[in-house]
Amino acid sequence: MNHLFSQFRIRFSHKFLFYFLIFALFIIGAGFRNISADWIKDSNENMPVCTAKNEQHFPSLTSDGSGGLIVGWRDARNENRDVFAQRVSLTGEMLWGDNGIPVCDLPSAQSWPSVISDESGGAILVFGDSRNHQDIYAQRIAANGELLWDKEGVAVCVDPTLQDDVKAISDGMGGAIVVWEDWRNGNQDIYAQKIDSDGKPVWAVNGIPVHQADGDQYDPVVVADGTGGAIVAWWDISTNDWDIFAQRVNAAGEIVWGDGGVPVCTASGNQGGPFVTADGSGGVFVVWSDYRNDPNILTSADLYAQRIDANGVALWEKDGISICNNPANQQQPEGISDGVGGLIVTWWDERDVFADIYAQRLGSDGKPMWQVNGIPVCTAEGQQRQPQIVPDESQGAIIYWLDYREDYGNVTMDAIYAQRIDANGKSLWALNGMPVCTADGDQISPKAISDGRGGAFIVWSDTRKENYDIYIHQVP
Low-confidence ranges of the chain (pLDDT < 70): 1-37, 295-298, 408-413
CA 16 from centroid of its chain's CA atoms: 54
Q: Are strands 217-224 and 375-378 parallel, antiparallel or unpaired?
A: unpaired
Is the distance from CB of 386 to CB of 402 less than 8 angstroms?
A: yes
pLDDT of residue 295: 66
pLDDT of residue 413: 56
Other beta carbons within 10 angstroms of residue 46's beta carbon come to 25
3-state secondary structure 28-79: HHHHHHHHHHCCCCCCCCCEEEECCCCCEEEEEEEECCCCCEEEEEEECCCC
pLDDT of residue 215: 87
pLDDT of residue 466: 84
Residue 279 to residue 246: CA distance in whole angstroms? 14
The CA distances from residue 350 to 116, 329, 373, 406, in Å, are 34, 5, 12, 18
Task: Please tell me the pTM assigned to this model.
Answer: 0.89
Residue 152 to residue 103: CA distance in whole angstroms? 8
DSSP 8-state secondary structure symbol assigned to residue 240? S
pLDDT of residue 298: 65
pLDDT of residue 296: 67
State residue 452 phi and psi, 5-degree precision.
80, 5
List Cβ neighbours of 211 (8 Å cut-off, separation of 6 or more): 189, 190, 217, 232, 234, 236, 245, 247, 260, 261
At 6, is the secondary structure helix, strand, or coil? helix
At 140, is the secondary structure helix, strand, or coil? strand
pLDDT of residue 9: 41
Per-residue pLDDT tens digits for 385-426: 999 999 998 999 999 999 999 875 555 557 999 999 999 999
Q: Sheet containing 208-211: give its strands across.
A: 163-170, 176-182, 189-195, 208-211
